[in-house]
Every structure is written in structure tokens, then in C-alpha cells.
Chain A
Amino acid sequence: MNRLPPPFGSRIDRAQRLHFSFEGRKLEGFAGDTIASALAASGEWQVSRSFKYHRPRGLHSLTGSDANALVQVGDEPNVDAGLTPLRDGMVVSAQNVNGSLAHDRDSVIDKLGRFLPVGFYYRTFMGPTHNAWLKLWEPLIRRKAGLGRLHMTASHPHGDTVHLHCDVLVVGCGPAGLAAGIEAARSGADVILCEAEPELSGSLTFAAEQHGLASLVAEAQSLPGLRLMTGTVCNGWFEDNWLPLIRGNTLHRVRARRVIFATGVLEQPAVFRNNDLPGLMAAGTVRRLVRHYGVKTGTTAVVLAAGDETLDTVRALQEAGVQIAAVVAPQPLSATCMDELRREGLPVIDGRIEEARGNKRLSALRVGGRWIDCDVAAITAGYMPSWQLPCQAGARLVCGDDGEMSFTGFPPDVDIAGGITGHSAHEAVLADGRRAAQAALRALGLAAREEISRPSPASKPFRFWDAPGEPDPRGRDFVDFDEDLQVKDLVHAVQEGYREIELVKRFTTVGMGPSQGRHSAKAAALIVARSTARRLSQTGVTTARPPAGPEKLSVLAGHHTVTERRTALHAAHVQLGAEMRPVGNWWRPYVYRTGAPREEAIAAEVKAVREGVGLLDVSTLGKLEVRGPDAGAFLDRMYATNHGNQSIGRVRYALMLNEMGSVMDDGVVLRLTEDTFYVTATTGAVARVYADMSFWNAQWRMNVDVLNLTGAFCGLNLTGPKARAVLSGLSSDISFEPEAFPYLQGKSATIAGVPVRAMRIGFTGELSYELHCAGSQAMTLYKAIAQAGPAHDLKPYGLEASRILRLEKGHILIGQDTDAMSTPDELGFGWAVSKRKAFFVGKRSLEARRRTGLQRKLAGLTFAASLGPNDMGEGCLVLRNGEVAGHVTSFATSPTLGKPIALAHVHTDDAKPGATVSLRARNGATIAATVAGHAFFDPQNLRQEI
């Protein structure tokens, strides 16, 4: 065990022991540990294998900024061990290994690196044959992808989505963020402080000197206008200050009037041969392990120095009892720093680390040609501002040739504060936080103070302390640990002709892994600049885009909400044993189960309608009211059919085209009064029809009002030879006799005490009455009909029976028997298109398309009764001379006719009744079908008009 005694380990609770396993080994940790810290405490320094070469990898940043710490936890892949709290019973394993983490058979790839240069996949995976990509390479790549194992039986995590609003959002709760949040909240602003770490104070939580920050934290926790969100990652910036804050499985969608990024700086790794060996880690990681988790990181250390913060790393190591073999200083350190190091008697070596060695763990570093034995190295090659979020917000990162960096071009409602601006002195960081808050308050009208000028940052805080050198001839000098990219890979990319950093990024994938360039962007930019004989200021760094870090799709998806519209008769259907199915947004009765097999029940429902009477809930139909002095003229413009001249009480078929002349919808129009029309639309298209009507009404400025009544009204279709008999048994103020209520007539009436709009129309080809009423009255009407029904063998029928009944009559379903190109002529609906109207939507296009002639027509097809049950179906191809001429749009075996029937697009020349067409069956055979007339059943339409 590498655990240090208290007071080390500010985050752990030694009273709570947690048990877990890693690679099958039983280990122990404490509450407050992360998986990574518990592994380190248990002496497990190797936690993963690298993406490409399967090299041993250890902890690097502990901040979620690298891929080294990704592990599999149970059924969840790609869990960041550095951020994920340890839980009792966790089963943790390495991912991307062939065998085990200790003995990975794929580590042989590390020896074959010279044959796998960057970009080799662009060439290799194209051959050797046309389909090699799919047949050979894709399965191989999937096996080797190194992204963990997806368990198909994994539990479905439900994400939570929360919408938050605030005046000021401060991202980052180090000293600057705390100062900014407190300053803003004190002045009455509604402030959210977002911090990825579990506690406030940022990097000071693992620093020796606390600078009295406890009082700031206490004040932040006490201010009523300050919402503290620790353990929360801000993962992007989007337009209008919309920022996703992710905490666990919850996505907080935040709208902020002002945003202050106080996200600090990123430690940069040094580039030298074998710089990825376990034991080499960011200096901040060393301090975190010691102070947050009480983990002794090794026995002998080398520290790569980059500024005065080196002293704190040295102190942490010394406090933990780690011997410091050397402090390596690539650049001259400050006099203060040098005095302190000398006082401690530590050897300071001017120069660079040239190479590391070790077998699965660091054993020595070469500096100035001399090998120094060590098992841990605290590395800081310099710093980079956390540039991603500000750059997503529109700022530009300006690079100096010495690696210095600054931002320009902020949008007015976004600011940065603290270390990200280059400040490192504590008082300056606090002052900059307060300045940013004051600027936000002024913009919000909450402060009248004069503008505070931004304090000047320290000199060149982001310059290179240890810039990457030339490629090591033996390679393995990694620039990007995520993708195993070495210096020579970037140099080769430039030699391939990719001179621009964005092109190099895409060719090599540098910065495209989980770290998103946090540790590689700056070094990569310098290497590209050097390789193209340019300056860093000319190449710049790669573009930062959201998301800033990995995020789970389940978090983005949130809770899965099933769209569920119910008609007012839903409970009645359920009570009758209906098999309810989703149809678009609606839940509808598919068939009423009577104990018989489903197909038999459907056939019985069809038979009931043909021979007796059936009742169908058609409430899902679109229902619109168009009213006003110009209503008739308006409908004449909207529909290809004529309605302005429609007499009151008359129902007329309505055909709607879009601007392309394609059929968009159909329905019926009932003229209720001189200036009131009741219009039906198909279930699936009514939203579009209503939107189009509203749009054109605004365009044309006619004296018309359009109302969508789809949800307000219910519809019942009573259909079958005995329909009239059923209705005649109900109390009503109208007669249902054919002379009083003929086919295609409509009336406002009262039936069973319920006001209804009754229409003599139907989809089945039988005597039909469609009764529409207010939803709240629908159950009353339904029950009255149901009570009158038994004497006439009334049966409710479902959607599948309805679909078959209409197919027997050759009626089309918009969207099923039509597509985006269907014209009225193709459907045989040319008769419905007005020839005398000067204008209707789609007229001009339809006329133009008519001049080009028809390529296909929708035709009815009949088949030999010997067709197998699954031989034919919707989507089967219609062939002509071996070429595809169309496809089957509707298919059913008709219970009434006792044979299969279909609607299909066929070549125009094959559309005449009696013609024979060929179809490709589902079993691959070619099947012949005969073209029928427009209806398979009752082609003279005698039954519906009785």
C-alpha cells in the first residue's frame, strides 16, 4: 500500500473502506477515492494500454484531460478512472487489451510501428478488393478499436435534463471564479458557480498555501443568490450563452446573461522518448495524489521545473517521503525558486529530459546524457490557458513565437478571469475575478461603478519552458498520448503535403481523442510551424469545438418520453380488449382480441363490416374549421378540388397539392354554412396542412380564420349495410333515410343528445355515417351507439381491418400509397383536379409536369391465390424487362375476396386493367400479377350509396 497517514488525503474518509476489483485482483480504497487514486494507493500504476501501440500507460492528469485513465467498469466502457468516485463492489478492468493488461498480445504492434505510419489506414483499407473494407478491415478494426466493450444487455440509464437560468455563470471555482461569483452575488445578481471538482478553490485544494481562501468559500456558501454546482463539467458554449453543464447523469441546460470563464491553465507534458511510461505524470497529479488522496507516488522522483510552482511539487514529494533525485530546469528559474531549492540541498540540472526507460514503469530518466534512477517524474513543460470554452464562444487564441498565448475578440457577454488570462499571483487572480464580475454587473445594470482596468498578468506565463525538440530517431516521443502520435508522425504529415495545422489534425488525428488537444495542441502547432519553416504565430492552434470533453449519449438524450396521444374513447377500447398500438403519435386499436388468433379476429372484423355493421374510432383524423367571408375562396386556393361553389350541407372530396404539384393530403370538406367549412385531413398530415393553411392565410391576407379541431373533436365511423338501422334506433333530430340524408351529404344534428356533425362518407365502400362531436361528449355517443348495436350485430373494428377494407375498395392512404413525387394523374385522381380554377397551390407545377408525361401509375394488382404467406408484401419491386418500374405500396390478403390484392406503382404502359406485371417476391422468385380496375370490391360503388 502506498497510502500516507493523515493529514494527507483531504478527500478520503478512512473510516469507510470500499472493496473493488481491478483486472480480477481484489483491492481496497476509501470513500472519497477515485478509481485512479485507489489504484495508485494499491500500487497499480499501470491502468491502461495505449490506443494504437498497446503500450503500458499510467495516470497522467487526473482531470479527465487524457485517455490514459479510461477503464471499463462493469458494463460501462470508457469510464474515466481519474474522475469517477470509487464505489463498493466496483468491477474495474482495462480496456483495449488482447489478453490482459499485464500480458497484452497486441503489444507486439509496438514493435511493428515502422510499418504503421500515420495515415497508413487511408491507403491500406481501400484494398485489395472492392469490398475489402466491409468484409476484411471493418470487422478487424472493430475488434481492435480499443473503446471498451459494449454489453447489449447493459441497463438503460435514464438521463435527467434541467433548464437553468442565471444572470452570471462563472465556470471554474478557483480563486478568480470564487471572487467573481461572490462579487456578482453581493450586488444582487443571480449567479451560478460551476466547478468540475468536488469542492471549491480549484488548484488551491492541493496546494500547500491556501491564501486564506476558506473565508471566500464560506462566503460563497452563504450567499443566497449564489448557486454552487460542484462536480459539474461545463462541456461547451453555444449561441446566446447556452451552456451545457453536466453533473453525473444530469444535463443542466443553462442560459446565462453573462458568462465568465475562470477555467485556469493546463499543464503541458514534455516531449521526449518514452515520455508515456507509467510513473511519468503531470506535476499537478503528483500533488493531487499526495494531498487529496494520501498516496505516495514513488520512492525516488525527478521534477521537471516550469516556474515557481515547482516548489510546491517539491514540497509535496518531500512531505510524502519521496526522495528527489533531481530538479531538471530547461529554463532559468527565478531567484526565489533557486534559493529555496538550494536551501533544500536539491540538485538542479539545467537542461532537458532526453529519454525515459523502464519496463512497464519508469526506472530512469536521461538528462544531459546521464541516467538518473527514479520511479516517478513530476512533469510540467509549461502551461496553456484552458482555451476551448472561450474559443467556442468566439474568442481567438493568439500565439506568440515563444509559445506565449492570449485571447482576443470576445463577444460582449463573455469574459475570462484569473489564471486563464495569465495571472498567477494570488491577489492579482482575485482582483481579476472581481473585475470580471464588475464588468458583468455593469452590463446587467446592477452596478454603477467605474470600469476596473484589467491587472497586467505576469510576464510571459504561457511561454514554452520545455519546447518539443527534433524527432527522436528511435521514435516513441509522444505528442498526443490519446492517439499514440509521435513527433515524426506530425513531421511526416507535413512531408505528405499537409502544411496547415487543421489538415495535419485531420490526417494524423492529433487532438481528436478524448483530450481534445489539451496536452497536444501547443506542441503539435510548434512542430508543424518548425516543419513548414514558419513561426508559431503563423500556424496557430487547432479550432476548439463543443463538446469540450467526452459526454454520454444517455445524458444528452435525457429521459425517454414516449409521445402518446389518446382519443377520448381510449378507455372504452382498452375495456373491449383492443390491442392498442402506436400509429404516429396516436395510440389506436389495431384489432379487438376476442380469443381468436389475431388474423382471424381481423378477418372477422372485416366480415362484420361487409355483412353487418362496424364501428371505428376515427378521432385521429385531422379536423379543421375554415370560417369567414373568404373561406370558400381560400379553400379553392388551398385545394385542387372545387369548394367555393359547394352547396351548404354538401360533402366533397378534397385533394391538396404542394407547390411541386405532388399530392400532399386528401380529405373531405363539408360546407356547414355560407362562411363555415368543416375540413378533414389525414392523421399524419394534419399538422402540415394546418401549418400550410396558416402560412398561406398570412400571405394572402384573406378574411378567413383557420382552427385545428383535431384534439377537440372525436370521430366515429359507423359503417356496413346495417349502419342506418343502428342510427335509426337512437334519438335524433334528423332522419337517416336515404332521401333525407343521401350519400355525400352532411348535417349538424343531435344524436343521443350529443351535438354532432354527421357526414355520409366512408372509407370502406359500405353505407357509412361519420359522426364528429366534441371530445367530452364522445363517450356518451359511443355508449349510445354500442347499446343500440347488439340488435344489429354491431362490432367495433380496428385499424388493420380498416386498412384491408379500404384496400378492397382501392382507396389510397396518403404517405403509404403516395410519395413526394406522386401526382394526381399517377393516382388516377385527375378527375379531382379543377380545370377551371385560375389558381390553386401546385397548379403551375402540375401543368408543367403533365407536359412531361407520366412515368408510372398506381394500379391495383391481383395475384394467384397460391401465393405463400410471406412471399409478397409492401416494398416488393415491380419489374419491367428486368428493370425496376415501381414497388408495392399496399398489400393484404382480402378476407372478402379470398385472395391477395395490392396497390403498386407500375409503368404507365402496364397500368391498363387486364395487363400482367412481374414482381420480385421476397423469396427472390418472379411472380406475375394482373392489373385490376380502380376497386377490387364493388367497383360500381353501389353499396356506399344505398
Chain B
Amino acid sequence: MSALFPLQPGGAASELTDGLGPHAALSIRDLTPMPRFGIKGAGSAAWFAGQGVALPPVNRLAQHDDTTFLRLGTNDLVCLADGDNEGLTRLRRSWHDAAAPKGYWSWREESWAWLRLGGAALEGALQRLCAVDLRAQSFRQQDVAQTRFAHVDAVVFRCEAGFDILFDITLTAQVLAAIEVARHAAEQGEAS
């Protein structure tokens, strides 16, 4: 049983993958197929804490066992890894095997697309895509913004390459088109 995500060949937005890649002024990497899972609802935070994860405050992230933990609410957590990650796999298995209360599965691996943006034109593009102050002095490495990005609801946070964006997977084509427009405008040099 193979999974198919929007930007993969045959996927819902596969015709828009021309702009993907690491070498453009604005590099876009599709991490949608990467492993992640989330739980939400009563008992979620306690369950993670019980696994030895030092949870960050709401709208912050923390690293644990090469896994990134995003805390979107008191009891709304997501963990992600941008590659095969044993710790994440172990956690997921533990959760499935655990008895309630342990929160509820939030299907983040299916509901979100995950894009990683970087490159020289990133700052100019972000200024066109998001109203949040994402400057380094204002938006720190551990900050998480739940906001609007490219006209859709999104979760935005920093990564080594630039910024990671999580958003409704059904809007992948729209977001990619908006990023392309922003990239073009940023390259035109209209940014301050």
C-alpha cells in the first residue's frame, strides 16, 4: 500500500513541482511524506510527558530524540522528523499500544502539507506571504506561529534551512502558486 501526496508524481498538485528544489533563489522542499504524528485532547500533554518528553510552552517547539515537538495548544501536540526517525516511530507505536487517557489521534500526517523554504529570496518572499514579524530578533528559533500564510491557515516555524510551513494539504496547489508569485515579486526587488 503506497501513499500518494499532492506534489508526488500523480498527486493532486503534481503539475506544479517545477519550482521545487534546493537551488532556486527560493528553495522549496516538500516534506509532506515525512513521518509525523499528532495527538490532541485531554491527556495528550500528560502522555507525552510520561514518555520523558520535556514539553515546550504553547506556540513553542522543542527538540527531543531528533524529533521536533510543536505545542499548538495545552493539549495539542505534533511531532515531526524530516527523515526516518526511530524515536518518532517508537513514540507512535507506544501511543497506539497505550491505554486511555492518552489524547486522541489528530491525523496530522494526512491533514497537513509540509514545505520547507529557504534561499536568498526567502526574506522578501516571507514578507509577501505572512503578516507575522518573522525577523530573527522577533521570531526566535523556538517560536511557533499559528497564523495565515499565503492566504491560508498555517503553522510556521524556523528550521536550519529557513522556515517550515504546515497547512491544509488540500490547499497545496494554491499555496505553491502564492509562493511562486511571492518569489517572483521578491526577485523583482520590490522588497525593502
Contacts and interface: CB of A to CB of B under 8 A. Distances in A.
The interface size bin for chain B is 35 or more
Given A161-B128, A705-B104, A568 B6 contact: yes
A134 to B, nearest CB: 38
A48 B181 CA distance: 38
A155 interface: no
A566 B3 contact: no
Interface in A432-460: none
Contact of B111 (A247, A565, A712, A779): A712
B52 to A, nearest CB: 24
A569 B12 contact: yes
Given A564-B173, A709-B107, A711-B168, A776 B127 contact: no
B141 interface: no
Contact of B104 (A190, A248, A627, A711): A627
A218 to B, nearest CB: 20
Contact of B174 (A562, A568, A712): A562
Interface in B13-63: 13-14, 40-42
Contact of A566 (B2, B12, B124, B181): B12
B143 to A, nearest CB: 14
Contacts of A192: 192
B68 interface: no
Contact of A777 (B3, B172, B185): B3
A709 B111 contact: yes
A252 B192 contact: yes
Interface string B102-124: 01101101110000000000001
B5 A565 contact: no
Contacts of B2: 780
Interface in A225-240: 227, 229
Contacts of A162: 124, 127-128, 185, 190-192
Interface string A542-576: 00000000000000000101111111111100000
Interface string A142-169: 0000000000000000001111110000
A778 B6 CA distance: 11
B111 A753 contact: no
Given A190-B135, A571-B12, A707-B40, A565 B174 contact: yes
A252 to B, nearest CB: 7
Contacts of B111: 709, 711-712
Contact of A163 (B5, B13, B130): B130
Contact of B1 (A190, A563, A571, A753): A753
Contacts of B103: 705
Interface string A744-772: 00000000011000000000000000000
A712 B11 contact: no
Contacts of A229: 192
A814 B3 CA distance: 34
A253 interface: yes
Given A229-B192, A571-B12, A628 B41 contact: yes
A336 B185 CA distance: 53
Nearest to A773: B110
B1 A713 contact: no
A61 B133 CA distance: 38
Contact of B170 (A250, A566, A571): A566
A569 B170 CA distance: 10
A774 B192 contact: no
A707 B1 contact: no
A780 B174 contact: no
Contacts of B140: none
B159 to A, nearest CB: 20
Given A160-B185, A160-B190, A229-B192, A707 B106 contact: yes
Contacts of B127: 162-164
Contacts of A777: 1, 3-4
B133 A255 contact: yes
Interface string A772-807: 001111111000000000000000000000000000
A703 interface: yes
Interface string B127-149: 11011110101100000000000
Interface residues of A, number: 49
Contact of A165 (B4, B109, B133): B133
Most B CB atoms within 10 A — which of A163, A192, A703? A163
Interface in A160-207: 160-165, 190, 192
A628 B177 contact: no
Contacts of B177: 561-562, 564
B3 A165 contact: no
A671 B30 CA distance: 36
A297 B151 CA distance: 51
A47 B68 CA distance: 64
Nearest to B185: A160
B122 to A, nearest CB: 14
Contacts of B4: 568, 776-780
B92 to A, nearest CB: 15
B10 A571 contact: yes
Nearest to B103: A705
A897 B132 CA distance: 57
Contacts of A776: 3-5, 109-110
Contacts of A774: 107, 110
B6 A566 contact: yes
Nearest to B190: A250
Contacts of B124: 162
A627 B41 contact: yes
Given A753-B1, A776-B3, A711 B170 contact: yes
Interface string A706-734: 01011111000000000000000000000
A564 B42 contact: no
Nearest to A778: B4
Nearest to B171: A565
A168 to B, nearest CB: 14
A163 B131 contact: yes
A780 B41 contact: no
Given A165-B133, A707-B107, A774-B107, A567 B170 contact: yes
A569 B6 CA distance: 9
A165 B107 CA distance: 35
A116 B117 CA distance: 63
Contact of B110 (A160, A563, A712): A712
B131 A253 contact: yes
Nearest to A188: B137
A797 to B, nearest CB: 20
Contacts of A753: 1
Most B CB atoms within 10 A — which of A161, A565, A703? A565
B149 to A, nearest CB: 11
A222 B40 CA distance: 50
Given A162-B127, A628-B104, 13 more contacts: A162-B190, A247-B190, A563-B174, A564-B174, A565-B168, A566-B6, A568-B170, A570-B13, A571-B10, A707-B107, A713-B110, A775-B169, A776-B110
Interface of A: 160-165, 190, 192, 227, 229, 247-248, 250, 252-253, 255, 559, 561-571, 586, 625, 627-628, 703, 705, 707, 709-713, 753-754, 774-780
5 contacts: A565-B171, A566-B12, A571-B11, A709-B107, A711-B169
**9 tightest A-B contacts by CB?**
A705-B41, A712-B111, A776-B3, A712-B110, A570-B12, A165-B133, A565-B170, A564-B174, A566-B12
